Amino acid sequence: MFFFKSIPLGLLVLCLLHHSAIGASPLYHFCFSPENYTADSPYGANLNSLFNLLYTKVPPTGFGLGSTGQAKNKVNGLALCRGDVSRKDCNTCVVDASKELRERCPYRKGAIIWYDHCLLKYSDVSFFGQIDSRNRFYMWNVQEVENGTLFNEKVKELLSGLSNKASEANQKLYATGEVQLDTLTTLYGIAQCTRDLSGVDCKKCLDSAISELPNCCDAKRGGRVVGGSCNVGYELYPIVNT
């Protein structure tokens, strides 16, 4: 069971009750453009071409962007797979994401969708190289830790280090790490940006996301801030494939 609460500027708060709730289903999506296109229009044909382009470009490296069409019918898009995801699973996620967006945002000129393994975004407005601070949502585990103040400090310390690591001399703009809290407990973290951002903007995006964790995930056993340009997360179990 999930709890949802809409808030302004396309920001969504999502309460994650347990990890098994995330499977092959989308985490969330936004149909953010107020503009529509019509069936059999040039924009629709260009969107199809863009999706076909991303199917080809994304899986080999886990990221791809592109534009198709001209002037008012031009479509811009990108897709990003989580840094540890295999080429096969990346391809599957991008294909599923494009199909799901068609169903959830029919004829909308701009939309974004997130899965555990990938995100896909397209728009009639050029957005490459710009931090997307509008499309964002939170996820958290409803269970709390005992010493919340100390735990929160450890979370911030781990994720701040991963922000530095992901944005400095890292072509994938991706980093994972862990810290031992005690003999039985390990804290795991992840940070990732879309690769159209510069290293400076990646860090800016990640640091902003980290600063929002207290708003959603104070003393929670797990939490994420997920956006259109970057995401951070932590859990008390391994997050990625090794």
Cα 67 to Cα 73: distance, rounded to the nearest angstrom: 10
**Rg, the chain, Cα only:** 18
pLDDT tier, 23 (very low <50, low <70, confident <90, very high otherwise): very low
Cα 171 to Cα 162: distance, rounded to the nearest angstrom: 14
Q: Is the pLDDT of residue 222 over 80?
A: yes
Q: How many CB atoms lie within 10 A of CB 90?
A: 23
**pLDDT score for 104:** 97
Quick: pLDDT tens for 74-118. 999 999 999 999 999 999 999 999 999 999 999 999 999 999 999
Quick: pLDDT tens for 128-164. 999 999 999 999 999 999 999 999 999 999 999 999 9
Q: Is the pLDDT of residue 1 over 70?
A: no
Q: Is the pLDDT of residue 22 over 70?
A: no
**pLDDT score for 47:** 98
- Global model pTM greater than 0.75: yes
**pLDDT score for 5:** 30
Are 93 and 100 in contact, with CB atoms under 8 Å apart? no
Quick: pLDDT tens for 187-203. 999 999 999 999 999 99
Cα 185 to Cα 237: distance, rounded to the nearest angstrom: 9
Domains of the chain and CATH, by start: 31-123 (3.30.430.20), 136-235 (3.30.430.20)
Q: What is the mean pLDDT of the chain?
A: 91
